[in-house]
Amino acid sequence: MPRSPFDPSQALGGLFEQPASVPQPRAPLSVVEAARAVQERLGSLGRLRVQGEVSAPRKGKHCYFELKDEQAVMACAIWASVLGRGVPAPDHGERVVIEGQFDFYAGNGKVTFVVHRLERVGEGDLDARFRALCDELRSAGYFSEDRKRQLPLLPRGIAIITSLDSAALHDCLKTSAIRFPSVPITVIGVPVQGAGSAEAVARAVQEVGLRAEALGVDVVVVTRGGGSREDLQAFNERVVADAVFRSPLPVVAAVGHESDTTVIDLVADHRASTPTQAMMAVLPDREELRQQLQGVAGSLVLRVRQGLRQRRDRLHAVASRPCLHDASAALRVPRERLKAMAARLAAQAPMARLAAARERTSGLMRRIELAAARVRADRLARLQALADRLASVSPTQVLARGYSITLDEAGRTVRSAGDVTAGQVLRTRVHAGEIRSRVEPTG
């Protein structure tokens, strides 16, 4: 093709530059092609020897575990064929040297170090530190059951120390709403793993103890979900053990899975296997408690009524006796006897015998009056004791301890914020009277 005699780039001093050549994008790989590329690169590393600490071994036909140090973790596997050749399955916390190679499994997108040989080196650093700290705290009395406190039967409030976005917190709040939603919950958000997490947990425990009255709490729950030993390391530090040991409030620990054991579990006043179990330990079931109280109250009222009825009948019987019903009636017989005796003595005129008879009659009357007074005082004291016992189980006593009941306009109990609507009038019963309020719209 002949070249044009007019070149705009030259005629206008290079104002119009010729476009540079743009490289064409490479065709995308499929997922399987990318997986093969990863496998090839990993295979090029060849056999490696790696030293580290064993964590969370899962033994069965094959053995799966994690090998870790202070900065990294890698997944490892020993196949059944290798175990059959005498390669041992490692235990948690052991330090080992393994020999093998990396492999990439396209089916699940994971890189696994496949072990062909394993040599035991000794106990892992984290495991050794854990055992040493446990020995130290045990000798100092931190684990003694004698110093651990009972949990309150019905706490005024509960402080939960955990991560704000954790499943553990969700489980705690859900269980609280089911078992006893009227008990207030105070949540203190802290990091539960990583640098500074142990100090954050310890500070939270200390702050709750110092501000317990202001916060209105009398029990602490420290919780987080499961993880590896290094994930739970914050709860194996001395600073956390000291804070829990010195806490003025009882502490419930629910850290990791049921099979995990941390230092805070051993120091805490109560250990729970899960966050749900922790809340069940500190909160009674409201409906079950209500039924128990109704049963006890009904039985007590029945017994008190029976006792009062029996004592009333006895009092009536005693009061109806002549010696107590009417003092003159009590003295009627002695007076008649005295008159008869006086008549006889008048005939005989022995004044000394008459005086003696009068004295005996006066003494008899005083003894009768004293006996009647003692009987009445005893019956009144017993009646007062029964009345006091009946008053102690009255529902009004519950309100006197600071609790309240909120009702809607129809007299139904308000159990959650979702039971009311904006503008609705509510009545709140307290010990001394009733408070009326109106629901304001939020936001």
Q: Which helix (H) or strand (E) holds 119?
A: strand 110-123
The length of the chain in residues reads 443
Q: Going by C-beta distance under 8 Å and a sequence separation of 6 or more, which residues neighbour residue 337?
A: 361
Q: Rounded CA gap, 443 and 440, in Å?
A: 10
Place of tokens 């009627």: 332
The pLDDT confidence band at residue 356, using thresholds 50, 70 and 90, is: low
pLDDT 10s digits, 236-290: 999 999 999 999 999 999 998 777 789 999 999 999 999 999 999 999 888 887 8
Helix 167-179, helix 275-282: angle, nearest 10: 30
pLDDT in tens, 363-374: 766 777 787 778
pLDDT, average across residues 24-35: 84
Sort residue 141 into left (φ over 0), alpha (ψ -120 to 50) or beta.
left
Structure tokens of 211? 């501000």
CATH of 129-284, one of 3.40.50.10550, 2.60.40.1480, 1.10.540.10, 3.40.50.800: 3.40.50.10550
Mean pLDDT of 318-322: 61
Q: Would you place residue 331 in the very low, low, confident or very high pLDDT band (cuts 50, 70, 90)?
A: low
Do the beta carbons of residue 90 and residue 115 sit within 8 Å? no
Could you give the C-alpha distances from 41 to 29, 36, 98, 225, in angstroms and in order?
A: 16, 9, 21, 36
Nearest alpha carbon to residue 421 among 409, 439, 443, 442: 439
Q: Where are the domains of the chain?
A: 32-123, 129-284, 288-393, 398-438
- 353: confidence class by pLDDT, cuts 50, 70, 90: low
What architecture is the 32-123 domain classified under in CATH?
A: Beta Barrel (2.40)
Measure the CA–CA gap between 44 and 106, rounded to whole angstroms: 17
255 vs 223: CA distance, rounded Å: 5
Q: Averaged over 126-138, what is the pLDDT?
A: 87
Quickly tell me which residue has 């170090």 as its tokens.
113
Q: Do domains 32-123 and 129-284 have the same CATH topology?
A: no
User: Mean pLDDT of all residues in the chain?
Assistant: 82
Mean predicted confidence (pLDDT) in 406-420: 84
pLDDT tens profile 98-120: 999 999 988 888 999 999 999 88
Q: What is the pLDDT of residue 355?
A: 63
Whether residue 5 is predicted with pLDDT greater than 60 in this model: the reply is: no
d(CA 100, CA 94): 18
- 9 — pLDDT class (breaks 50, 70, 90): very low
User: What is the model's pLDDT at position 404?
Assistant: 82
Asked if residue 348 has pLDDT above 50, the reply is yes
**Contact between residue 114 and residue 62 where contact means Cβ atoms under 8 Å apart:** no
**pLDDT at position 245:** 97
Is 78 in contact with 59 (CB distance < 8 Å)?
Answer: no
179 in Cβ contact with 158 (< 8 Å): no
Mean pLDDT of 144-166: 94
Q: Would the pTM count as exceeding 0.85?
A: no
